[in-house]
Amino acid sequence: MIKPPQRNASGVIDIRLERIEQFFHSLDPHTQWHRQIAAQIEEFILAEARELPRRAPIRIRLFVANSEADATRRQDVAHALRAHFAYRARVENARLHDLLWRGVISLAVGMLVLAVCLRIGPWIGNFTKETTGNFVDTAFQIVGWAANWRPVEIFLYDWWPVAEDRRLYRRLAGAHVELLPMSEADAAPSADSQARTA
């Protein structure tokens, strides 16, 4: 079977910055390695990471125009990025647990409603059969099955996009991050896509 080519199969995501402060959220007052990364940077990283092979290790290269690529700054930036996506992974994990727990509760309620409807529908239908036929019994059956629509939706469709986002955030939390001077951008092996932030 022929697989469609990956637009970025190298596992490398390149980002070019004029200055390192563009990497962080401008309103975040925390120390650098506790700071949130900028929304534009996060959106770009997520978009590129989703196109990588699922098992490929992720490598993020930040090329900075000025001379800020010292060892301490490299460590701070790498820690900030990994901490940011580790936090996002925890949020998605909590969201997934809440969703599944809601599904369990909804399923229990739905099954109870279904059992009640299947029990009392025929009973009430016996008293109204001469005037309504099987309408009452059928109506109760529809109500009972409709009560299970939401848990079925959760367990069939809603949980796996959240689980997929959690998996992606965990991959990014373990990414190898490099902070490099812009002078090395042309000399470095080219990734399939890059971002420029003015």
Q: Give the tens place of pLDDT for each residue, 86-141.
A: 999 999 999 999 999 999 999 999 999 999 888 887 777 666 665 556 777 788 88
Position 134 in a domain: yes
Q: Give the chain's domain count.
A: 1
Q: Environment class of residue 130 by beta-carbon count within 10 Å: exposed (0-12), middle (13-18) or buried (19+)?
A: exposed
Name every residue whose Cβ is closer than 8 Å to that of residue 118 and which is 6 or more positions away in sequence. 140, 141, 144
Position 3 in a domain: no
Position 4 in a domain: no
Q: What is the pTM of this model?
A: 0.76
Containing domain of residue 54, as a range?
12-19+33-197
Position 172 in a domain: yes
Position 26 in a domain: no
Position 63 in a domain: yes
Position 2 in a domain: no
Sheet holding 176-181, edge to edge: 176-181, 59-64, 12-17, 194-197
pLDDT for the residue 55: 84
Q: What is the pLDDT of residues 55-78, one digit of tens each?
A: 889 999 988 876 555 555 667 788
Position 25 in a domain: no
